[in-house]
Amino acid sequence: MSVQEATVFDPIQANDIDAELERSLTNEWDAKIMTYPNERFPFNEWILNRVRMMGFPVEDLSYFHEVVPQAETYRVTKQLCADTNLPEFRRLLNGFVRQVVVPKGKLRQPVAVQRYMNVRIMLPSTPELYFPLHTGLLYGHGIASRSLWMPFVDVTADEDKTRSMQIIPIKKSRELTKYAISNRLTMAGMTEVWGKHAHQIKAGPGSCCLFSQEHIHGSGMPNSTGKTRISMDFRIAEGMYGDLLGRKMPAGYFHLIPDTEEEEERLAKLPPRELQYNNGKQHIFYVANNTSATFCIPVHLQRYMLVDYAEKKKITRDYELFDLEDMLHCPTLLHLVEDRNANIVMYSIFALPEVEADRNHLLETSLKRGNIIHFVNEDLQLVNADDLATIKHYLAFAKFGHSRLPIGLPLSETTRDYFGKWNETVQQYQ
Ligand SMILES: [Fe+2]
């Protein structure tokens, strides 16, 4: 299905999907090494070229530290992360996901991919900068999200252990995570207890590791090999589990990728978006706490994001309105859309009314009147009918208004405990 066919998007809702998720996580995604044709997907060469284009004549990424000054490494890392959002890289990556990860990882489309890749450079000269062992769930990722770890240098030899990543199989990871929580382990305690069970991932250009948010993984120790490790990691989400992505919401953290090469090609030919933002109208900031996803997000933090967005997009800031708490039909937003002739800058597509008919009325009216709505968290803009389809597609992907949990909350024991405590207080109040 293409991004444009939002109205027929119908994610699988069968009740037994979690049994299938469990099967997948404990098989294809249980810290398995997956091979891929490096000549078709030369990520390592692309990264090497980007480093060279920054003015550092590196020939072998393992010896990056001999060419790039240590003080420059953080800047280079951040630049490489940003570069992974360049159109040429996204096309390479999207093709890789469609042609290799989806079939080998037995995923079902539509899938969404992390917006910016994490590129990591582990120098042999900075022992204090290694990454402690952790799990994705403990970092706010959702149970259904899948991770890929891809080294751009060969770390298959035993002596490469400390520059590779370490990982623990899923069942042992679950046990050890519970142990760490209930015994309130310190970071040093986790490094010691978990470290004993972790094994070296053996991969290099042409192979990568598939794992889940429950796997304990990380460097876990300083790189003492004398060589640099450069790697990339990112996450993928399937639409059928679009409401099981914890705090990493679709559209903000994850971008839907086209299902086919043809659709990718069509989208690549569209004109640059910035050209379409300038319709000569003023911009009204809209902040609210009227949906389950925005209920706990203070408006001053929303406003920080709106201000930052307006500056980046070079759009004016003319006025601001709040919505009325407890009025879930969002009357202020409705008023802005129906009665004012201005563009709206708002926090998120998940700040739109959860009732689909109300939401669609707002979006369609805005489109008809030629007023643009900017959704800051997702960097989405409602300018034309294609945008409307994309926004609807993301909301369907996230099961907005129908999800098992409010969008943006992790499915964990702690969440359940917090809800329990909160519920008790509310009951007493009544
Ligand atoms: Fe991680």
Residues 262-301 pLDDT 10s? 999 988 888 776 667 888 999 999 999 999 889 989 999 9
User: Is position 422 within any domain?
Assistant: no
Same structural domain, 132 and 93: yes
Q: What would the mean pLDDT of 336-354 be, rounded to a whole number?
A: 96
Q: Pick the range with the lowest mean pLDDT from 54-58, 91-95, 406-410.
A: 406-410
Q: From the CA of 136, how far away is ligand 1's center (Å)? A: 6
pLDDT for the residue numbered 14: 39
User: Is position 6 within any domain?
Assistant: no
Same structural domain, 57 and 168: yes
Q: From the CA of 429, how far away is ligand 1's center (Å)? A: 41
Tens digit of pLDDT for each residue in 58-74? 999 999 999 999 999 99
Tell me, what amino acid is at 233?
Answer: D
pTM score, whole prediction: 0.88
pLDDT for the residue numbered 275: 64
**Full 3-state SS string of the chain:** CCCCCHHHCCCCCCCCHHHHHHHHHCCCCCCEEEECCCCCCCHHHHHHHHHHHCCCCCCCHHHHHHHCCHHHHHHHHHHHHHHCCCHHHHHHHHHHHHHHHHHHCCCCCCEEEECCCEEEEECCCCHHHCCCCECCHHHCECCCCEEEEEECCCCCCHHHHHHCCEECCHHHHHHHHHHHHHCCCCHHHHHHHHHCCCEECCCCCCEEEEEECCCCEECCCCCCCCCCEEEEEEEEEEHHHCCCCECCCECCCEEECCCCHHHHHHHHCCCCCHHHHCCCCCEEEEECCCCCCCCCCCHHHHHHHHHHHHHHHCCCCCEEEECCCCCCCCHHHHHHHHHCCCEEEECCHHHCCCCHHHHHHHHHHHHHHCCCEEECCCCEEECCHHHHHHHHHHHHHCCCCCCCCCCCCCCCHHHHHHHHHHHHHHHHHC
Count: domains in the chain: 2
Partners of 321 in the β-ladder: 286
Residue predicted with more confidence, 397 or 412: 397
User: Is position 324 within any domain?
Assistant: yes
pLDDT-derived band at 92 (thresholds 50, 70, 90) equals: very high
Q: From the CA of 357, how far away is ligand 1's center (Å)? A: 39
Q: From the CA of 268, how far away is ligand 1's center (Å)? A: 31
Q: From the CA of 150, how far away is ligand 1's center (Å)? A: 12
Q: From the CA of 251, how far away is ligand 1's center (Å)? A: 21
User: Is position 1 within any domain?
Assistant: no
Same structural domain, 79 and 33: yes
Q: What would the mean pLDDT of 218-238 be, rounded to a whole number?
A: 94
User: Is position 391 within any domain?
Assistant: yes
Q: From the CA of 138, how far away is ligand 1's center (Å)? A: 10
Residue 422 in this model has a pLDDT that exceeds 90: no
Same structural domain, 45 and 145: yes
pLDDT-derived band at 426 (thresholds 50, 70, 90) equals: confident
Q: From the CA of 312, how far away is ligand 1's center (Å)? A: 29
Last residue of a domain, one of 268, 293, 312: 268
pLDDT for the residue numbered 208: 97
Q: What would the mean pLDDT of 344-362 be, rounded to a whole number?
A: 96
Same structural domain, 38 and 99: yes
Last residue of a domain, one of 244, 268, 292: 268
Tens digit of pLDDT for each residue in 97-130? 999 999 999 999 999 999 999 999 999 988 777 8
Same structural domain, 278 and 335: yes
CATH number at residue 108: 2.60.120
Tens digit of pLDDT for each residue in 169-198? 999 999 999 899 889 999 999 999 999 999
pLDDT for the residue numbered 9: 41
pLDDT for the residue numbered 430: 65
Same structural domain, 260 and 277: no
Residue 10 in this model has a pLDDT that exceeds 50: no
Q: From the CA of 134, how far away is ligand 1's center (Å)? A: 6
Tens digit of pLDDT for each residue in 358-408? 999 999 999 999 999 999 999 999 999 989 999 999 999 999 988 777 777
Q: Which domain holds residue 28?
A: 11-268
Q: From the CA of 416, how far away is ligand 1's center (Å)? A: 24
Same structural domain, 222 and 311: no
Q: From the CA of 404, how far away is ligand 1's center (Å)? A: 25
pLDDT for the residue numbered 405: 74
Last residue of a domain, one of 268, 303, 326: 268
Q: From the CA of 168, how far away is ligand 1's center (Å)? A: 12
Compute the distance between CA of residue 184 and CA of residue 361 in angstroms, rounded to an integer: 50
CB 148 within 8 A of CB 236: yes
User: Is position 334 within any domain?
Assistant: yes
Residue 15 in this model has a pLDDT that exceeds 60: no
Q: From the CA of 209, how far away is ligand 1's center (Å)? A: 12
Same structural domain, 70 and 168: yes
CATH number at residue 283: 3.40.50.1390
Q: From the CA of 218, how far away is ligand 1's center (Å)? A: 6
User: Is position 420 within any domain?
Assistant: no
